[in-house]
Structure 1
Amino acid sequence: MSKSKISHLVNSSNTISTSWLLVLVLTSSCFSTLSYGAEATNNYKLLNIGVIIDVDSHFGKEEKVAMELAAQSFNTTSQSYKLFLHFRNPGRDPLQTVSAAEKLIIEKEVAVIICMETWGQTALVAEIGNRAQVPIVSFAEPAITPPLTPTRWPFLVTMVNNRAEQIRCTAALVGSYNWRRVIVIYEDDSIGGDTGDLALLSEVLQNIGSEIEYRLVLAIIFSFV
């Protein structure tokens, strides 16, 4: 990567590294008392944090740099704990996502996993977190949150705004143009990640006198090496 690209990433990430610092500080504060994932090194404890994101995307690169800056800022001031980030990029392959989460827990002994992709991937990682009793911090959320989510995934912590508001905003835009029929184009992630979104979209469109006329599904092709 060229120096100009690195400079751009650092500059743009500085604006959100403060938010990530807050996330990482809260994470370390909540889980630093746990025995797993903390390895004593010199006079401080090393806290391993797993991160599952798409580091190949533009936004993913900014997220990675921002988290690294936040961790560096925390490590500079903390005398008791040092954060070490372990990044994994399984893409959108659900099997690779599960494998990445399991390896982070078993091989790296992470105290927490931050998962930032689709809700379908988050649900899979949450299942792994339940079995290993490792907290999962997620920035993905379904449009319709199942009422039994806290019971099914007690180790899952969601940290995003409700996507239902975004879908209602989309429906309001459709209504402002008096569109009565719409075509929905979406990706099939094979694990039902978009089911709640479509159900809510269909409902709010009906409320304004519109409907989904056609659904165009783009299949995701997974490659196995």
Structure 2
Amino acid sequence: MLKVIFLKYFLVSMLVVSSLNTYASQESDSGFYISPKLIVGHASIRNGKVKGSYQEPLILYTDQNHDKNDNNTSDIVGGALLSLGYYNENWRAELSYSYRYRFDLNGDVGELDLDEYHNHNNLPGHFRLDVNTQSVRFDLYYSILALETESLKPFVGVSIESLQHNILAKVRNAYNYTEESSDSSEISLGFSIGTEVIWTKDVNFTVSLHYIDLGDIDIGPQSGNAYFSTDNFSTIDLMFGVNYYF
């Protein structure tokens, strides 16, 4: 499904970019570039909820954030992004494919019952979600002329993404265990600020900070009608990239 969406985005973008290129063919400061990037993201989940056979309280934590005190938690996520871009004077537009690996979410559910349950800290419910995310993404950047120097070209940007969360859920409810994969799709918006570091005529480095709303996470019903959901999944990404101009 995501490949079909990417193909549609690609074809439409090529038509748009071809039109821009025709219009700007007389301009010296316009053309295409490619941009591979690495992503280091601090992703957060807030206001997690359980329902069905899962009953509150809910405690969330990750492999890197072991604090077990509420239904909020965070994790460090890695990723990569490959972009095809078009620039025209102070504007840049990029169409990208990105992949994030991965958010490791753990949840302890229910009140402690020392007399009946003897696994997972004697809790009646437990789950682990491995959340990988891929997306097709469009970014529009504008260079801040007032802040430009001989070596730096600062910019601000906005983005829109068609996301797909690929979730492997390992769920226990009482003594019932399930392991199941599921997918969910989202449309997200983001904002960014960063700079190009000018190196040569054809190659610039980029460093940027992005805030992105990653949408929702939902699993269920699983293992005796157990559900988990959150409507607040977001990330702050630090991106390092290289722009190669044709």
TM range (shorter): under 0.3
Tell me which of the two structures has the higher relative contact order, counting C-alpha pairs closer than 8 angstroms and 6 or more residues apart: 2
Pick the structure with more strand per residue.
Answer: 2
Larger radius of gyration between Structure 1 and Structure 2: 2
Q: Structure 2-normalised TM-score? A: 0.23
Pick the structure with more helix per residue.
Answer: 1
